[in-house]
Protein backbone atom coordinates (compact mmCIF):
# COMPACT_ATOMS: atom_id res chain seq x y z
CA UNK A 1 0.00 0.00 0.00
CA UNK A 2 1.37 3.41 -1.00
CA UNK A 3 1.86 5.60 2.05
CA UNK A 4 0.09 8.81 1.07
CA UNK A 5 -3.16 9.89 -0.53
CA UNK A 6 -4.23 13.51 -1.06
CA UNK A 7 -7.95 13.92 -0.43
CA UNK A 8 -10.31 16.82 -1.09
CA UNK A 9 -13.86 16.94 0.26
CA UNK A 10 -16.13 19.39 -1.55
CA UNK A 11 -18.51 21.29 0.73
CA UNK A 12 -21.46 23.26 -0.66
CA UNK A 13 -25.27 23.32 -0.79
CA UNK A 14 -26.89 21.40 -3.64
CA UNK A 15 -29.61 23.32 -5.44
CA UNK A 16 -32.81 21.95 -6.98
CA UNK A 17 -31.23 22.24 -10.46
CA UNK A 18 -28.44 19.73 -11.03
CA UNK A 19 -26.90 21.81 -13.84
CA UNK A 20 -26.67 24.80 -11.51
CA UNK A 21 -25.09 22.62 -8.81
CA UNK A 22 -22.64 21.15 -11.31
CA UNK A 23 -21.34 24.66 -11.98
CA UNK A 24 -20.50 24.92 -8.27
CA UNK A 25 -18.94 21.44 -8.27
CA UNK A 26 -16.86 22.15 -11.36
CA UNK A 27 -15.34 25.25 -9.76
CA UNK A 28 -14.49 23.33 -6.60
CA UNK A 29 -12.99 20.43 -8.57
CA UNK A 30 -10.59 22.86 -10.24
CA UNK A 31 -9.64 24.25 -6.83
CA UNK A 32 -9.07 20.72 -5.48
CA UNK A 33 -6.95 19.76 -8.51
CA UNK A 34 -4.77 22.85 -7.96
CA UNK A 35 -4.19 21.69 -4.37
CA UNK A 36 -2.96 18.32 -5.66
CA UNK A 37 -5.97 16.12 -4.86
CA UNK A 38 -5.82 12.47 -5.96
CA UNK A 39 -9.30 11.66 -4.61
CA UNK A 40 -12.13 14.19 -4.68
CA UNK A 41 -15.17 13.35 -2.55
CA UNK A 42 -18.64 14.88 -3.00
CA UNK A 43 -21.45 14.75 -0.41
CA UNK A 44 -24.71 12.82 -0.40
CA UNK A 45 -27.33 14.22 -2.83
CA UNK A 46 -24.28 15.48 -4.70
CA UNK A 47 -25.99 17.59 -7.36
CA UNK A 48 -29.62 18.14 -6.34
CA UNK A 49 -31.80 18.28 -3.26
CA UNK A 50 -35.60 18.59 -3.51
CA UNK A 51 -38.40 19.38 -1.11
CA UNK A 52 -40.21 16.05 -1.39
CA UNK A 53 -40.09 12.54 -2.83
CA UNK A 54 -42.44 13.35 -5.71
CA UNK A 55 -40.05 15.96 -7.15
CA UNK A 56 -36.99 13.77 -6.48
CA UNK A 57 -38.57 10.92 -8.45
CA UNK A 58 -39.58 13.27 -11.27
CA UNK A 59 -36.04 14.47 -11.87
CA UNK A 60 -34.20 11.20 -11.22
CA UNK A 61 -32.70 9.23 -14.10
CA UNK A 62 -31.00 5.92 -14.73
CA UNK A 63 -27.20 5.71 -14.71
CA UNK A 64 -26.71 5.92 -18.47
CA UNK A 65 -28.81 9.07 -18.75
CA UNK A 66 -27.55 10.81 -15.61
CA UNK A 67 -26.25 14.27 -16.48
CA UNK A 68 -24.33 14.43 -13.20
CA UNK A 69 -22.71 11.00 -13.43
CA UNK A 70 -21.62 11.54 -17.02
CA UNK A 71 -20.18 14.95 -16.18
CA UNK A 72 -18.23 13.57 -13.23
CA UNK A 73 -16.94 10.61 -15.25
CA UNK A 74 -15.57 13.06 -17.83
CA UNK A 75 -14.06 15.20 -15.06
CA UNK A 76 -12.29 12.21 -13.48
CA UNK A 77 -10.80 11.28 -16.85
CA UNK A 78 -9.86 14.84 -17.79
CA UNK A 79 -8.00 15.45 -14.52
CA UNK A 80 -6.83 11.81 -14.16
CA UNK A 81 -8.02 11.30 -10.59
CA UNK A 82 -10.58 9.43 -8.51
CA UNK A 83 -13.95 11.02 -7.78
CA UNK A 84 -16.30 9.72 -5.10
CA UNK A 85 -19.82 10.78 -6.01
CA UNK A 86 -21.46 10.90 -2.57
CA UNK A 87 -24.82 9.85 -3.93
CA UNK A 88 -27.29 10.38 -6.76
CA UNK A 89 -30.96 9.34 -7.00
CA UNK A 90 -30.93 6.52 -9.54
CA UNK A 91 -34.03 4.90 -11.02
CA UNK A 92 -34.38 1.26 -10.02
CA UNK A 93 -37.53 -0.84 -10.52
CA UNK A 94 -40.56 1.23 -9.38
CA UNK A 95 -38.56 3.37 -6.95
CA UNK A 96 -35.06 4.82 -6.69
CA UNK A 97 -31.82 3.91 -4.97
CA UNK A 98 -29.58 6.41 -3.19
CA UNK A 99 -26.35 5.35 -4.92
CA UNK A 100 -22.72 6.32 -4.32
CA UNK A 101 -20.12 5.87 -7.06
CA UNK A 102 -16.32 5.66 -7.17
CA UNK A 103 -15.01 6.80 -10.55
CA UNK A 104 -11.45 5.92 -11.61
CA UNK A 105 -8.98 8.19 -13.46
CA UNK A 106 -9.96 6.49 -16.73
CA UNK A 107 -13.51 7.82 -16.30
CA UNK A 108 -15.09 4.48 -15.50
CA UNK A 109 -17.20 3.61 -12.47
CA UNK A 110 -15.23 1.00 -10.52
CA UNK A 111 -17.61 0.59 -7.57
CA UNK A 112 -21.12 1.59 -6.56
CA UNK A 113 -22.98 1.34 -3.26
CA UNK A 114 -26.69 1.68 -2.48
CA UNK A 115 -27.47 3.21 0.91
CA UNK A 116 -28.48 0.40 3.27
CA UNK A 117 -29.91 2.31 6.24
CA UNK A 118 -32.62 4.72 5.14
CA UNK A 119 -33.34 7.89 7.11
CA UNK A 120 -36.83 7.17 8.50
CA UNK A 121 -37.04 9.34 11.62
CA UNK A 122 -39.14 11.81 13.60
CA UNK A 123 -36.82 14.38 15.16
CA UNK A 124 -37.46 16.09 18.52
CA UNK A 125 -38.46 19.33 16.77
CA UNK A 126 -41.22 17.49 14.89
CA UNK A 127 -39.41 17.19 11.55
CA UNK A 128 -40.22 13.88 9.85
CA UNK A 129 -38.03 12.26 7.22
CA UNK A 130 -38.97 9.01 5.50
CA UNK A 131 -36.45 8.07 2.82
CA UNK A 132 -38.19 4.74 2.31
CA UNK A 133 -40.99 6.66 0.55
CA UNK A 134 -38.45 7.48 -2.14
CA UNK A 135 -35.73 4.84 -2.06
CA UNK A 136 -35.21 1.10 -1.87
CA UNK A 137 -32.51 0.23 0.63
CA UNK A 138 -29.30 -1.45 -0.48
CA UNK A 139 -28.54 -5.01 0.55
CA UNK A 140 -24.77 -5.28 0.24
CA UNK A 141 -21.72 -3.69 1.87
CA UNK A 142 -19.09 -2.58 -0.64
CA UNK A 143 -15.32 -2.17 -0.52
CA UNK A 144 -13.93 -0.22 -3.47
CA UNK A 145 -10.29 -0.31 -4.52
CA UNK A 146 -7.72 2.21 -5.63
CA UNK A 147 -5.65 -0.38 -7.46
CA UNK A 148 -2.56 1.72 -8.17
CA UNK A 149 -2.00 2.28 -4.44
CA UNK A 150 -3.56 -0.92 -3.07
CA UNK A 151 -6.02 1.08 -0.98
CA UNK A 152 -9.39 -0.35 0.06
CA UNK A 153 -12.29 2.05 0.59
CA UNK A 154 -15.46 1.07 2.45
CA UNK A 155 -18.44 2.93 1.03
CA UNK A 156 -21.28 4.17 3.26
CA UNK A 157 -23.76 7.06 3.18
CA UNK A 158 -24.88 9.45 5.95
CA UNK A 159 -27.42 7.65 8.23
CA UNK A 160 -25.32 4.47 7.93
CA UNK A 161 -22.97 6.11 10.45
CA UNK A 162 -25.36 5.19 13.28
CA UNK A 163 -24.85 1.46 12.64
CA UNK A 164 -21.33 0.57 13.84
CA UNK A 165 -21.48 -3.09 12.84
CA UNK A 166 -21.39 -2.06 9.16
CA UNK A 167 -18.17 -0.12 9.75
CA UNK A 168 -16.58 -2.91 11.73
CA UNK A 169 -17.44 -5.41 8.99
CA UNK A 170 -15.86 -3.14 6.37
CA UNK A 171 -12.69 -2.79 8.44
CA UNK A 172 -12.47 -6.51 9.20
CA UNK A 173 -12.70 -7.19 5.48
CA UNK A 174 -9.80 -4.93 4.56
CA UNK A 175 -10.99 -1.32 4.41
CA UNK A 176 -8.30 1.29 5.13
CA UNK A 177 -10.61 4.27 4.49
CA UNK A 178 -14.37 4.55 4.98
CA UNK A 179 -16.30 7.27 3.18
CA UNK A 180 -19.41 8.84 4.72
CA UNK A 181 -20.86 11.36 2.24
CA UNK A 182 -23.71 13.13 3.98
CA UNK A 183 -26.46 15.73 4.05
CA UNK A 184 -26.64 15.75 7.84
CA UNK A 185 -29.44 17.45 9.75
CA UNK A 186 -28.59 20.84 11.25
CA UNK A 187 -30.55 19.77 14.35
CA UNK A 188 -28.62 16.57 15.14
CA UNK A 189 -25.35 17.71 13.60
CA UNK A 190 -24.03 19.88 16.46
CA UNK A 191 -24.52 17.02 18.95
CA UNK A 192 -23.97 13.82 16.96
CA UNK A 193 -21.86 14.42 13.82
CA UNK A 194 -18.33 14.70 15.19
CA UNK A 195 -18.95 12.16 17.95
CA UNK A 196 -20.31 9.46 15.64
CA UNK A 197 -17.60 9.88 13.02
CA UNK A 198 -14.77 9.93 15.54
CA UNK A 199 -16.18 6.77 17.14
CA UNK A 200 -16.34 4.99 13.77
CA UNK A 201 -12.69 5.91 13.12
CA UNK A 202 -11.46 4.77 16.53
CA UNK A 203 -13.33 1.47 16.62
CA UNK A 204 -12.30 0.47 13.08
CA UNK A 205 -8.79 1.92 12.87
CA UNK A 206 -9.77 3.47 9.52
CA UNK A 207 -9.51 6.94 8.10
CA UNK A 208 -12.98 8.48 7.87
CA UNK A 209 -13.68 10.76 4.92
CA UNK A 210 -17.00 12.58 5.32
CA UNK A 211 -17.85 15.21 2.66
CA UNK A 212 -20.99 17.06 3.71
CA UNK A 213 -23.69 19.34 2.38
CA UNK A 214 -23.56 22.79 3.95
CA UNK A 215 -25.99 25.59 4.68
CA UNK A 216 -29.48 26.46 3.43
CA UNK A 217 -30.73 24.76 0.27
CA UNK A 218 -33.21 26.14 -2.27
CA UNK A 219 -35.74 23.53 -1.10
CA UNK A 220 -35.64 25.04 2.40
CA UNK A 221 -33.65 22.32 4.10
CA UNK A 222 -30.57 23.23 6.14
CA UNK A 223 -27.48 20.98 6.27
CA UNK A 224 -24.87 20.99 9.01
CA UNK A 225 -21.65 21.16 6.96
CA UNK A 226 -18.43 20.29 8.81
CA UNK A 227 -16.94 17.96 6.20
CA UNK A 228 -14.39 15.91 8.12
CA UNK A 229 -11.21 13.94 7.52
CA UNK A 230 -10.41 11.88 10.62
CA UNK A 231 -7.40 9.72 11.45
CA UNK A 232 -7.61 6.10 12.72
CA UNK A 233 -6.67 7.52 16.14
CA UNK A 234 -9.84 9.65 16.10
CA UNK A 235 -8.05 12.93 15.50
CA UNK A 236 -9.82 15.46 13.29
CA UNK A 237 -7.29 16.30 10.57
CA UNK A 238 -9.53 18.71 8.64
CA UNK A 239 -12.93 20.28 9.31
CA UNK A 240 -14.87 22.34 6.78
CA UNK A 241 -16.90 23.97 9.57
CA UNK A 242 -19.71 26.05 8.01
CA UNK A 243 -17.73 27.33 5.03
CA UNK A 244 -18.35 26.36 1.41
CA UNK A 245 -15.19 25.22 -0.35
CA UNK A 246 -12.54 22.50 -0.42
CA UNK A 247 -11.44 20.56 2.66
CA UNK A 248 -8.00 19.13 1.88
CA UNK A 249 -5.59 16.80 3.64
CA UNK A 250 -2.81 14.41 2.64
CA UNK A 251 -3.25 11.26 4.72
CA UNK A 252 -0.55 8.76 5.66
CA UNK A 253 -1.96 5.25 5.23
CA UNK A 254 0.71 3.71 7.48
CA UNK A 255 -1.33 5.16 10.36
CA UNK A 256 -3.91 2.40 9.81
CA UNK A 257 -1.53 -0.44 10.70
CA UNK A 258 0.13 1.66 13.38
CA UNK A 259 -3.15 2.26 15.23
CA UNK A 260 -4.46 -1.28 14.83
CA UNK A 261 -1.24 -2.74 16.23
CA UNK A 262 -1.20 -0.38 19.19
CA UNK A 263 -4.86 -1.03 20.12
CA UNK A 264 -5.90 -4.35 18.51
CA UNK A 265 -9.57 -4.11 19.44
CA UNK A 266 -10.86 -4.69 15.91
CA UNK A 267 -9.95 -8.38 15.89
CA UNK A 268 -10.35 -9.06 19.62
CA UNK A 269 -13.75 -10.69 19.48
CA UNK A 270 -15.20 -12.07 22.72
CA UNK A 271 -18.47 -13.99 23.03
CA UNK A 272 -20.42 -12.77 26.02
CA UNK A 273 -22.55 -14.90 28.28
CA UNK A 274 -25.95 -13.42 28.99
CA UNK A 275 -28.80 -14.10 31.37
CA UNK A 276 -31.50 -12.34 29.35
- Give the residue among 213, 155, 153, 171 at the shortest CA–CA distance from 189: 213
Give the span between the Cα atoms of 114 and 99, in whole angstroms: 4
Pairing state between β 82-92 and 39-41: parallel
Q: Which residues of the chain have pLDDT under 70?
A: 1-2, 269, 271-276
pLDDT at position 139:
95
Spell 41-75 as b/e; 16+ CB within 10 A means b: bbbbbbbbbbeebeebbeebbeeeebebbebbbeb
Burial class of residue 77 in the structure, from the number of CB atoms within 10 Å of its CB (0-12 exposed, 13-18 middle, 19+ buried) = middle
What residue ranges do the domains of the chain occupy? 4-262
Q: Which residues are annotated as catalytic?
A: 44, 115, 158
Q: According to the CATH classification, is domain 4-262 in 3.60.110.10? A: yes
Q: What is the pLDDT of residue 273?
A: 67
Sequence-distant (≥ 6) Cβ neighbours of residue 100 within 8 angstroms: 44, 84, 85, 86, 87, 112, 113, 114, 115, 155, 157, 179, 181
When the pLDDT of each residue in the chain is averaged and rounded to a whole number, the result is: 94
Q: Where are the beta strands (DSSP E) in the chain?
A: 4-11, 39-41, 82-92, 95-103, 109-114, 120-122, 128-130, 142-146, 151-155, 177-179, 207-210, 214-216, 222-224, 228-230, 236-239, 245-252
- Number of Cβ within a 10 Å radius of residue 275: 3
Q: Is 228 exposed, middle or buried (0-12, 13-18, 19+ CB in 10 A)?
A: buried
Amino acid sequence: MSNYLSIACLQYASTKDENKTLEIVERLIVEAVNLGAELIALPECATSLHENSTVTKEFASNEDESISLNFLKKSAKFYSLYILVGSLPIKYKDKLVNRSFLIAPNGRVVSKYDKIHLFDVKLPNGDIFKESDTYLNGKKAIIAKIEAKTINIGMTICYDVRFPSLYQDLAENGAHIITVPSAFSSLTGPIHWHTLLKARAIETGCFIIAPAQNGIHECGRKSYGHSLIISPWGKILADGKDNDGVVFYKIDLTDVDKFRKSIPSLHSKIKYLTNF
